[in-house]
A and B are shown apart, each in its own frame.
Chain A
Amino acid sequence: MSGTINFTQAYQRALYESMEADPSVIMLGEDIADEEGGGVFKVTAGLSTKFGAERVRTTPISEQAIVGAAIGASLAGMRPIAEIMLMNFITVAMDQIVNHAAKLRFMSGGQTHVPITIRTRTGAGIGAAGQHSDMLEAWFAHVAGIKVVVPSTPADAVGLLSSCIFDDDPCLFIEDSLTRTVSGPEPDPGHRLPLGKAHVDREGGDVTVIGYGRPLLDTRKIAAKLADEEGISVEIVDLRTVSPWDKETVLNSVAKTGRAVVVHEAPRSFGVGAEVAATIQEELFGQLKAPVLRATSRDVTVPFARILEQEYLYKPADIESAIKSTLK
C-alpha cells in the first residue's frame, strides 16, 4: 500500500501481472499492440513489446471474430482477454457471447468451459452520444453463465480484473470512460478479489445504498456529507460483481438498516436495480421501514448536447434525495 494509482494504471497493472504470471494469458482486440499505439485508451500500452506480438494481437475490426477467437482459444486451454473498444460495439458480438461463451459449459455438460475475459469501456458524460455511452450490463446479467464485473476503485479494478482473467468462466469486465484518471490507494502486488462477492464499502445503520462502478464514487461523498451534516448513517454495499450477485451480503445489510436505495448509471427500466429491489422485498418485506428506491439514469437514448446528457444521467442529488426519502 505505497502510493496511489488511477483506474487506467490499475487495468494496466492487472493485465501486466497476469501475462507475466501465466503464458496462457493472451490478448486480442482492435489497435491493442504497440505498433498501433497500445489501444485507443492506452490500456494495453507496452504489453506487445514486453510479451510479444504472438500473445498480444491487434485484430481487424471484427467483433464477432474477436470474441469467437477468444472462445475457441479458451476451449483449447488458453486464457484470452478480448478488448472490445466500447461497450456498444459488443452488440455486434452478442451471438458469440450469449449463445456460445455463456452456454458452452452447460450445454456440454461441463466437458468444456470458456475462461475468457472481455474488457470493455463505456459510460455517459463525455459527449459521446447515443452509440458510444451505454451501460449494457443488465443485458448480460440476464444470461446465466457469464460473470459481469464493474470496479469502483482502482485497487478493486486490479483485484477484480486479475480474478476475471484467472476465472474459469467468461467474464465481462466494464471500465468507465469518465473516471479513467481518478486515483486511489495502490494495492499490493498480486492483489485479487473474489468474484461474486459484494463488499461493505462503508458501514452504517440507517440506510443501505447498493451499487457498483461510478455512482459509488458519488455515493461515498454523499454518505460522508450526510453523516457530517445531518447525522445520517449510510451503509454502502459495492456489488463489485453485478452477476451473479451476492444476495447474502446485500440482504444482511438491508436486514440491519431496514432501508435500501439501489444506484446505477444504466437506465432505470429492467435494470439491475429492479432485480435487487425485487429480491429485497421478496426476502425482507416485513422488515422494511420504507419502499426500496432507485437512483438511475433515464429511459432515453444518451443525448449529445451536454445539457441533455446531464439530464439523462443519474445525478448525485438523486442519490441523496432517495436516501433521505427512505428516512421520512
Chain B
Amino acid sequence: MTAAEHYSPSALMDVFRKALFINVVDEKMRGLLKSGGLVAVYYSPRGQEVVAAGMGVHLKPSDYLVTTYRGIHDQLAKGMPLKLLFAEYFAKVTGACKGKGGAMHITHPETGVMVTTGVVGSGLPIANGLAWATQIKKEDRVTLVTFGDGASNIGAFHEALNLASLWKLPVIFMCQNNGYGECTQYSKATPVENISERAAAYGPNLAGVTVNGNDPQAMWEASRDAVARARAGDGPTLLEAKTFRFMGHYFGDPGAYIPKDEYAAAMEKDPMPAIRQAVIESGAASEAEIKELEQEYSAQIDEALKFAADSPAPELEEISRDIYGDAA
C-alpha cells in the first residue's frame, strides 16, 4: 500500500491512524510501568508519534527499518505485530526475539524491522549495507534508519552519510531531533542550527531537509519525497524531523534538566491534540469515530498484552542457542 502523490484528508487520516495507535500503545505501556505490571527500562516516544507515522505510511512491508532503543513508534509504524513486540518487552519466549534481545533489540524481518540498536549512531552504517544489497540485487526496496539528534555527533553518522552519498544508496537517514540527548540540550552538544545542514558536507547526492515533525502534512510530504528519491535511485536523504520528547530520556526520568518554559512551549505544540483536531476539521473523521478507533486499538492492545503476560519465560537451554548457526 503506497500513499498517494498529494496530501489529502485521507492521507492525514492514514497518518493519524498510525499516530493514534502509537499513542495508545505508549499510554498503555506507561500505565503498566507505573502499576508494576511491567518492569523494564522504557524509552517513551511520546511527542514523536507523527514523525514515525508520517514516514511509516510511505513504506512497504518489504522496505527495511533500522531503529534504536527509542524505537517502538518506528516499529509500530512499520507494521510490527503487537504480540511479538509486547512479548519481547515482557521477556517471554513468544517474543519476536524469544526474550533474548529485549526492547532495545527488537527484530522482525517479516515486517522489515531488521535491526534495533542500543548503541547511539550504530544503525546508520548497517542501513547502508541493507541498501547496498538492494542496489546490487536491483530490488524495489528502500531502507529507513532512524536516530536521535545526539547520534549526529558520533563518527558513524558521518562515515555513513559519506558512503551513502558516494554510492548513491537508496537509504533515508531520519533524524528525530527531540531537543535532547539524554540530559544534554541540543545546543550544548550540536553547534549547527539544523542537523540537515550537515548533508551539505557530503555532496549533491545527499539531500538535506529539515521539517516540523509535529506537522502531519510537512512530515507526510517530506517523507514522500525522501522515499521517492530513494526508490528512484536518485540518492539518500538526511531528513531531520524537529520534535520533542515529553517523557524524558527514559520513563521515570524526572527531567530536571529541561527548563520549565521550554517544556511548556513544547507542550503547546503537542502533535497528538493537534492532529486530532486537524482530522476532525478536515472531515476525515468525527470525534465519535476517533473514540471508536481508540477503543478498537485499546482492545487490540489489551489482547496482545494479555498474550505477552500469559506467555512463558524462555527455558534455560535458550542461553546456548543462536550463538552460532552450526552449534549443537
A residues neighboring B (CB under 8 Å): 26, 54-55, 57, 59-60, 62, 64-65, 67-78, 80, 95-96, 99-100, 104-113, 144-145, 147, 167-169, 196, 244
Contact = CB atoms under 8 A, between A and B. Distances in A.
A107 B101 contact: yes
Given A72-B133, A75-B114, A105 B107 contact: no
A65 B156 contact: yes
B232 to A, nearest CB: 19
Contacts of A96: 122, 125-126, 156
B64 interface: yes
B76 interface: no
B163 A75 contact: no
* Residue in B108, B159, B166 with the greatest tally of chain A CB atoms within 10 Å: B159
B57 interface: no
B322 interface: yes
B231 interface: no
B160 to A, nearest CB: 6
A110 B101 contact: no
A68 B136 contact: no
Contact of B125 (A54, A67, A107): A67
What 10 pairs across the A-B complex have the smallest Cβ distances? A72-B129, A68-B125, A76-B133, A109-B98, A109-B97, A108-B107, A107-B101, A65-B159, A69-B129, A168-B325
Contacts of B273: none
Contacts, number: 155
Given A72-B132, A95-B119, A62 B162 contact: yes
Contact of B159 (A64, A71, A106, A196): A64
B107 A72 contact: no
Given A75-B115, A75-B130, A244-B327, 13 more contacts: A55-B136, A60-B166, A62-B163, A64-B156, A68-B128, A69-B125, A69-B128, A72-B130, A99-B122, A100-B119, A109-B101, A167-B326, A244-B324
B324 A109 contact: no
A54 B136 contact: yes
A152 B160 CA distance: 36
Nearest to A68: B125
B109 interface: yes
Q: How large is the interface on B (under 10, 10 to 19, 20 to 34, 35 or more residues)?
A: 35 or more
Given A54-B136, A106-B323, A145-B324, A71 B97 contact: no
Nearest to A115: B325
Nearest to B105: A107
A105 B126 contact: no
Contact of B114 (A62, A70, A112): A112
A100 B117 contact: yes
Contacts of A111: 96-97, 107-109
A113 B325 contact: yes
A105 B166 CA distance: 30
- Which among B99, B126, B162, B322 has the greatest number of chain A C-beta atoms within 10 A? B126
Interface string B112-145: 0011010100101111111111101100000100
Nearest to B167: A57
Contact of A64 (B96, B125, B134): B125
A78 B134 CA distance: 10
B133 A77 contact: yes
Interface string B305-328: 000000000000000011111110
A105 B125 contact: no
